[in-house]
């Protein structure tokens, strides 16, 4: 049962707020004045057990914990996918990623994945009168597949609903290693044009494979191409030296951009998608955080991310916005230790358990791949508590449409506004999640069904992670067996049959 359910005047106030602000008869200007600001803070590869409020790991995260302790902490919150691009696609479109064949982990020069004509969360909120911004990791493609990085790159984040965008094109381990501000590479010297290739290196350019003496962080697998800031990446780049980022400064840079957006847009409702890059590889913390946790660079960048969240929350308080801002915090997928760099993540994890009590992690169909931290805070409107409701990030689209008085979308998003506001625990009845290669699993109530799949049972490129693929159908009671050690499929064939039938209905 959820603790501390909303009672008395708080419940009445919230209900009145929703009815009065979003009545079809309400004056549009008055309605806009009353709309809450919305902030989605999205971590990258942060596991359920990486947030100390879930009482499963050893790294203290007081600022992440604050969002949970001052709001609703969801025990059954899910990303739509166990990898980043598909998960982010679902967050912004309200659509399951396996419905779009292209929604898989993208290269840094991939074309824009989201069709600008497709309904998106930021475009919907723009129609409701919001100023919209995205800051941080993008990884949803840019341009049309043949990008000239020395010109305005379009279509991109601005074409799918964001008024302001300050992003990295893909990930911090992929080229190009530059920031793109409203479609233009920031700080680019026109006399040193930027070139990017994922096919072959540019003549004379050093790589991690050929020039390991230039590296301050050694790769473990796959990240042996172009070098920037002493770190070799995936892909090749040439030129654009003045625009290339410094990893140690990235967190401060994104934080300053997020704070600036809030200060500039505070006079109107705003939606900010603040996409952190931590704890994705390469893990290169600011010197202020290096060595502070005892868990190696992975622990240190989690501490760095937590500090950024704390500083951002302080900005909301200083600007007098905390009582009128809905803050949502989650992660794009589950955790991973060695993901391409020799940073001692596995060696120094100690008794910390990034995956919590669950099995698997990033890339996996097992629960730790998609069962992630998820919490929602809105001071004065959400009574602090813990919810067992089944919810997914894909549901934010429809729920925020309801909150802002917009038509509900026709997609996979479920309208669960009352659940996110802590008024009920009537969440989803079922959910489809995906691992690698658009392979999917089905959760219904406390049951998880993983169909039979061909393929390797473990990731084969260096990461020690189970994929969840097996020749045998798998059935688990996730409430009684969180670690998914007891496959009940052979014992309960009728349950498998019933779940499979419901699963197929969704897949249609």
Supply the range of the domain harboring residue 393: 8-194+239-431
Mean pLDDT on 85-101: 98
Q: Residue 252 domain-assigned?
A: yes
Mean pLDDT across 151-171: 98
Grade residue 24 by pLDDT with cuts at 50, 70 and 90.
very low
Inside any domain, residue 458: no
Asked if pLDDT for residue 10 goes beyond 50, the answer is no
pLDDT in tens, 386-426: 999 999 999 999 999 999 999 999 999 999 999 999 999 99
How would DSSP label each residue in 458-501? B-SSS---B----SS-EEEETTT-TT-----TTT-HHHHHHHHH
Mean pLDDT value across residues 238-262? 98
**What is residue 32's predicted lDDT score, i.e. its pLDDT?**
52
Q: Please state, in angstroms and rounded to a whole number, the distance separating the CA atoms of residues 268 and 245.
A: 32
- pLDDT value at position 17? 40
pLDDT at 164: 98
* Rounded mean pLDDT, 108-119: 97
- Asked if residues 263 and 315 have their Cβ atoms less than 8 Å apart, the reply is yes
Statement: residue 2 has pLDDT above 80:
no
**Percent of the chain residues topping a pLDDT of 70:** 94
With a cut of 90, say whether residue 362 has pLDDT above it.
Answer: yes
Confidence of residue 127 (pLDDT cuts 50, 70, 90): very high
Cβ pair 253, 247 in contact under 8 A: no
- Kindly report, residue by residue over 479-507, the tens digit of the pLDDT: 999 999 999 999 999 999 999 999 999 99
Name the residue among 83, 141, 105, 92 with its Cα closest to residue 332. 83
Asked if residue 413 is part of any domain, the answer here is yes
Q: Do the domain assignments include residue 437?
A: no
Check whether 18 has a pLDDT greater than 50. no
* Residue 438 domain-assigned (yes or no): no
CA distance 497 to 5: 36
Please, where are the H alpha helices in 94-144? 121-127
Q: What residues contact 402, with CB distance under 8 A and at least 6 apart? A: 22, 408, 415, 417
Range 242-250 average pLDDT: 98
Q: What is the mean pLDDT of residues 358-384?
A: 98
What contacts 412, CB < 8 A, 6 or more positions away? 90, 94, 95, 96, 99, 394
Give the 3-state secondary structure of residue 416.
coil
CATH of the domain at 382: 3.40.720.10
Look at residue 136 and give its three-state secondary structure: strand
Number of domains in the chain: 1
Task: Identify whether the C-beta of residue 175 lies closer than 8 Å to the C-beta of residue 233.
Answer: yes
pLDDT for residue 33: 59
On whether residue 501 sits in a domain, the answer given is no
- C-alpha angle 467/498/475, rounded to 5°? 30
Give the mean pLDDT of 264-273: 98
Closest CA to 470 of 488, 496, 450: 450
* Six-digit token string for 337: 């230790």
Contacts of 263 (CB under 8 A, 6+ apart): 315, 319
Question: For residue 40, is pLDDT > 70?
Answer: yes
- Is 218:225 a contact under the CB 8 Å cutoff? no
**Residue 57: is its pLDDT beyond 70?**
yes
- Closest CA relative to residue 373, chosen from 430, 334, 327: 334
User: Helical H runs in 22-150?
Assistant: 28-34, 62-69, 84-93, 121-127
Q: Is the pLDDT of residue 16 over 80?
A: no
So what's the pLDDT on residue 462?
A: 81
Q: What is the mean pLDDT of residues 46-53?
A: 98
Please determine, for residue 98, whether its predicted confidence score (pLDDT) is greater than 70.
yes
Which of the residue ranges 113-117, 286-290, 459-463 would you say has the lowest mean pLDDT? Answer: 459-463
Residue 34: its pLDDT value, please?
84
Q: What is the 3-state secondary structure (H, E, C) of 459-471?
A: CCCCCCCECCCCC
Q: Is residue 494 part of a domain?
A: no
Q: What is the mean pLDDT of the chain?
A: 94
| In the predicted structure, residue 9 carries a pLDDT above the cut 70 | no
Within a domain: 488? no
């Amino acid at each position: 049962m959820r603790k501390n359910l909303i009672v008395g005047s708080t419940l009445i106030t919230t209900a009145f707020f929703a009815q009065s602000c979003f009545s079809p008869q309400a004056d549009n200007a008055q309605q806009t004045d009353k709309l809450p600001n919305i902030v989605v803070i999205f971590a990258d590869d942060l596991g359920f057990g990486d947030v100390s409020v879930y009482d499963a790991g050893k790294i203290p995260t007081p600022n992440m914990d604050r969002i949970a302790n001052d709001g609703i902490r969801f025990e059954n919150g899910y990303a739509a996918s166990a990898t980043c691009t598909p998960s982010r696609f679902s967050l912004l479109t309200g659509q399951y990623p396996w419905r779009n064949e292209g929604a898989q982990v993208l290269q840094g020069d991939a074309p824009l994945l989201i069709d600008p004509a497709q309904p998106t969360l930021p475009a919907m909120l723009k129609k409701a009168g919001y100023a919209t911004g995205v800051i941080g990791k993008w990884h949803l493609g840019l341009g049309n597949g043949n990008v000239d990085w020395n010109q305005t790159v379009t279509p991109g984040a601005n074409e799918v609903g964001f008024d302001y965008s300050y992003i990295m094109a893909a990930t911090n381990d992929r080229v190009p290693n530059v920031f793109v501000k409203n479609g233009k590479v920031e700080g680019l010297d026109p006399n040193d044009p930027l070139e990017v290739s994922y096919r072959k290196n540019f003549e004379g350019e050093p790589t991690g494979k050929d020039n390991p003496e230039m590296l301050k962080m050694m790769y473990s697998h796959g990240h042996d191409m172009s070098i920037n800031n002493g770190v070799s990446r995936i892909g090749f780049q040439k030129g654009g030296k003045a625009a290339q980022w410094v990893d140690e400064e990235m967190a401060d840079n994104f934080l300053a951009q997020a704070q600036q957006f809030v200060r500039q847009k505070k006079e109107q409702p705003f939606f900010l998608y603040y996409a952190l890059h931590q704890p994705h590889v390469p893990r290169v913390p600011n010197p202020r955080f290096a060595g502070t946790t005892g868990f190696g660079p992975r622990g240190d960048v989690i501490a760095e991310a937590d500090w950024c969240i704390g500083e951002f929350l302080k900005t909301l308080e200083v600007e007098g916005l905390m009582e009128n801002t809905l803050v949502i915090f989650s992660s794009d997928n589950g955790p991973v230790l060695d993901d391409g760099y020799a940073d001692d993540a596995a060696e120094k994890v100690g008794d910390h358990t990034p995956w919590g009590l669950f099995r698997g992690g990033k890339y996996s169909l097992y629960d730790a791949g998609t069962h992630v931290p998820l919490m929602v805070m809105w001071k004065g409107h959400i009574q602090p508590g813990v919810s067992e409701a089944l919810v997914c990030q894909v549901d934010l689209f429809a729920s925020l449409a309801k909150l802002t008085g917009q038509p509900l979308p026709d997609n996979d998003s479920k309208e669960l506004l009352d659940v996110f506001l802590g008024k009920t625990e009537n969440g989803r009845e079922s959910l489809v999640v995906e691992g690698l290669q658009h392979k999917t699993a089905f959760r219904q109530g406390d049951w998880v069904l993983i169909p039979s799949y061909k393929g390797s049972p473990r990731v084969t490129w260096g990461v020690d992670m189970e994929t969840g693929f097996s020749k045998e159908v798998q059935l688990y009671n996730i409430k009684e067996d969180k670690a998914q050690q007891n496959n009940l499929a052979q014992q309960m064939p009728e349950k498998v049959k019933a779940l499979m039938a419901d699963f197929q209905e969704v897949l249609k």
